[in-house]
Amino acid sequence: MIRKQIFIPRDQDEALKRLSQRTGKSEGALVRDAIALRLQQEDEVSKKWQELLREWASRPVDNQPRIWRRDDLYSDRVSPK
């Protein structure tokens, strides 16, 4: 494991201590659990966004699939150099 030193507000420290006493888990274990949960949530959100974008990109427009490049999106805004 890697040691990290963090600063938390007093109210979070008090809540962490109460939760530690109530669950029997160490404060460090609770912090690690919270970090793991947050990272898992981020992964799930990212996957959902990717699924949504794939779905959106596969929908036809005027019976044609959406095929575009990033440059195409800005071609009317940027003059050729």
Mean predicted confidence (pLDDT) in 60-67: 70
More confident residue, 77 or 18: 18
Strand partners, 61: 64
Query: What pTM does this model have?
Result: 0.60
Decide: 27 and 16 in contact? Cβ < 8 Å.
yes
- As a whole number of angstroms, the distance between CA 17 and CA 13 comes to 6
Altogether, the residues listed in the chain come to a count of: 81
24-40 per-position pLDDT tens digit: 999 999 999 999 999 99
